[in-house]
Amino acid sequence: MFRIFNFPKSPLRGDLEGLSSLPLGGRAGDGACVFNSKLLLFGEYGLMFGAKALSVPFDRFSGFLDFDTNRSHLASSAEIRKFFEHLKTDADSQKLHFTFDLESLKKDLEKGLYFNSNIPQQYGVGSSGALVAALFSRYAAAFVPEKELTPELLKVDFSMLESYFHGKSSGIDPLISFLNCPLLIDSKKMIHHAKINLAETELSFALIDTGTTGATGPLVQHFIGQLNFPEFKLAFDKQFIPANNGCIESLLSGSHQNFFLFLEQLIHFQLLHFRRMIPGNFQSVISEALTEKVFIKLLGSGGGGFLLAISETKNGLKNWAEKNQIELLMVN
Q: Is 78 helix (H, G, I), strand (E, B) or coil?
A: helix
Residue 298 pLDDT greater than 80, yes or no: yes
In sequence order, the 6+-apart residues with CB closer than 8 A to the CB of 232 are 226, 273
Q: How far apart are the first and last CA of the chain?
A: 21
Cα 192 to Cα 15, 187, 311, 316, distances in angstroms = 8, 11, 26, 32
Is-contact 131 76, C-beta < 8 A? no
* DSSP letter (8 states) at residue 82: H
| CATH number for the segment(s) 198-330 | 3.30.70.890
- Domain positions in the chain are 8-193, 198-330
- pLDDT tens digit sequence for 67-85: 998 889 999 999 999 999 9
Please say if the pLDDT value at position 14 is more than 80. no
Assess whether pLDDT exceeds 80 at residue 184: yes
Q: For 84-98, how does the pLDDT look when each residue is reduced to its tens digit (9 = 90+)?
A: 999 999 887 889 999
Query: In the predicted model, what is the mean pLDDT of residues 296-315?
Result: 92
For the domain 8-193, what is the CATH code? Answer: 3.30.230
Say yes or no to pLDDT of 173 above 70.
yes
Write the pLDDT tens digit of every residue in 109-151.
Answer: 999 999 999 999 889 899 999 999 999 999 999 889 989 999 9
For 59, other C-beta atoms within 10 Å of its C-beta total: 15
Q: pTM, whole model, 2 decimals?
A: 0.85
Nearest Cα neighbor of 48 from 166, 203, 130, 145 is 166
